[in-house]
């Protein structure tokens, strides 16, 4: 795995780090920082519309169903284990760069979702299809780059969207209830298969039920921990900002944190948890039936806000206020998060993390299975879908038996290879996206 780590670091430092941030900056500045100054507009169009009655669609998902399907993949183990790993590898300063990544990623996500709807197509089954491969091929005019995206996406779904998630489920249940990994893997694969055979409609239905429940459970419990440690919160926030630019000094050199490590792990975790710039969640939004592509872009902003600004921030702050030591040689990943919740809520806190991890990981498996199928369908016309589904379910079982943290390097490598063609398309298509957003968002940020 040393080779994978070196390759991933070469791609991320500084090339992809800069490209992700530059893309977000182009969309943010070009829109007049709409994610900030247009807060009332996009919040009213998304969270403010949650209680409205919606018409059921037979040819596509509703915007809210598309959001739930996308959040099912974004709110995976990266929100729990990934954030904890970023803290131990990059220090508290990585949280600051995760915030920067999320702030800029809001508009990157908005552009992705807009393009996914604008260039969506009907599939052989009459259902809508959309995503980076379509706007790269039809908007950018590059079938080659569209194929490159799909070729990078397929292994990414098997590794980051399946192996890592299944391993987290098995590890969580083994630690909390001493359940053996093999039966857990078999049950997880069986449940995933039952949902997958129902297509995107069933995935969306299950996601629409799981996502609100798991978000309320995790955010509510995390808020309770922060209220119990209210007096430590200012110090935790000060630590994040002080370590962002001088982590080695703050750590006394013990953990070996550097500015580069904080930047690299903060941005990488932010990207993996909200997927802004990867293009994967745009495939879920590309299945939505909506009259206005810009409206779906608003849901893209809300998606990043919820998955990273809310959920990941709660994880990071709970760990920091717990006072547990941060070191790659000590607790890391999900065990560190569980210990942090348990420091205030006892066994109930650890149970919340175990259950949240179970729900986050399983919903992520469902979302990523859809992405892999869409990428393969684009390449092969659907002929190889049975083979992919079998491979995906085998990876679900294999992930339950696998132990260790070495796959995170492979996840970062797959994410990098997938992001390159997508970011190239986003930068090239930025003028038309920003022009349309300004035209259709008449009540957006004022000049």
> Does residue 423 contact residue 277 with C-beta atoms inside 8 Å?
yes
**What are 120-156's pLDDT values in tens digits?**
998 877 788 999 999 999 999 999 999 999 999 999 8
- Reading phi first (left if > 0) and then psi (alpha if -120 to 50, else beta), residue 383 is in alpha
Q: Rounded to an integer, what is the distance from CA 392 to the centroid of its chain?
A: 19
Distance CA 314, CA 309 (A): 8
Distance CA 219, CA 233 (A): 16
pLDDT value at residue 447: 36
Q: Which domains does the chain have, with CATH numbers?
A: 69-438 (1.20.1740.10)
> Does residue 362 contact residue 241 with C-beta atoms inside 8 Å?
no
Scanning the structure block, which residue is given the tokens 């990414």? 156
pLDDT value at residue 254: 44
Which residues 6+ apart lie within 8 Å of 253 measured at CB? none
> Does residue 169 contact residue 364 with C-beta atoms inside 8 Å?
no
pLDDT at 249 over 70: no
pLDDT at 444 over 60: no
pLDDT at 55 over 60: no
pLDDT value at residue 201: 84
Whole-prediction pTM = 0.87
pLDDT value at residue 136: 96
Q: Phi then psi for 286, rounded to 5 degrees? A: -70, -15
Mean of all residue pLDDT scores within the chain? 84
Distance CA 182, CA 184 (A): 5
pLDDT value at residue 401: 87
């Amino acid at each position: 795995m040393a080779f994978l780590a070196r390759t991933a670091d070469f791609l991320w430092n500084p090339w992809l780090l800069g490209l992700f941030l530059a893309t977000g900056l182009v969309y943010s500045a070009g829109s007049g920082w709409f994610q900030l100054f247009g807060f009332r507009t996009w919040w009213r169009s998304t969270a403010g519309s949650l209680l409205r009655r919606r018409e059921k669609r037979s040819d596509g998902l509703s915007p809210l169903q598309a959001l739930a399907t996308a959040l099912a993949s974004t709110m995976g183990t990266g929100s729990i284990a990934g954030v904890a790993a970023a803290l131990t590898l990059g220090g508290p300063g990585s949280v600051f760069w995760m915030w920067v990544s999320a702030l800029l990623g809001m508009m990157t996500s908005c552009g992705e979702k807009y393009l996914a709807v604008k260039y969506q197509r009907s599939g052989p089954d009459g259902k809508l299809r959309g995503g980076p491969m379509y706007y790269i091929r039809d908007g950018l005019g590059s079938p080659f780059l569209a194929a490159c995206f799909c070729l990078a996406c397929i292994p990414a779904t098997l590794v980051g969207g399946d192996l890592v998630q299944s391993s987290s489920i098995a590890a969580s249940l083994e630690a909390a209830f001493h359940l053996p990994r093999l039966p857990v893997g078999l049950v997880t694969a069986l449940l995933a298969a039952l949902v997958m055979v129902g297509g995107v409609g069933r995935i969306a239905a299950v996601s629409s039920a799981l996502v609100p429940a798991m978000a309320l459970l995790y955010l509510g419990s995390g808020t309770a921990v922060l209220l119990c440690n209210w007096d430590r919160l200012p110090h935790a926030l000060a630590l994040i900002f002080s370590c962002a630019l001088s982590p080695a000094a703050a750590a006394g050199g013990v953990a070996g944190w550097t500015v580069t490590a904080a930047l690299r792990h903060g941005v990488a975790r932010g990207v993996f948890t909200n997927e802004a710039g990867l293009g994967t969640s745009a495939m879920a939004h590309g299945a939505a039936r909506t009259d206005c592509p810009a409206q779906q872009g608003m849901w893209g902003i809300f998606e990043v806000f919820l998955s990273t600004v809310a959920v990941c921030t709660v994880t990071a702050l709970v760990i920091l206020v717990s006072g547990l030591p941060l070191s790659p040689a000590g607790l890391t990943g999900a065990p560190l998060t569980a210990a942090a919740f348990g420091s205030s809520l006892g066994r109930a806190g650890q149970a919340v993390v175990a259950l949240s991890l179970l729900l986050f990981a399983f919903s992520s498996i469902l979302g990523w299975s859809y992405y892999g199928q869409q990428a393969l369908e684009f390449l092969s016309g659907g002929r190889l879908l049975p083979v992919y589904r079998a491979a995906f379910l085998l990876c679900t079982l294999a992930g339950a038996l696998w132990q260790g943290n070495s796959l995170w390097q492979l996840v970062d490598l797959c994410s990098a290879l997938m992001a390159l063609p997508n970011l190239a398309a986003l930068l090239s298509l930025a003028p038309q996206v920003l022009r349309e957003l300004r035209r259709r968002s008449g009540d957006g940020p004022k000049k």
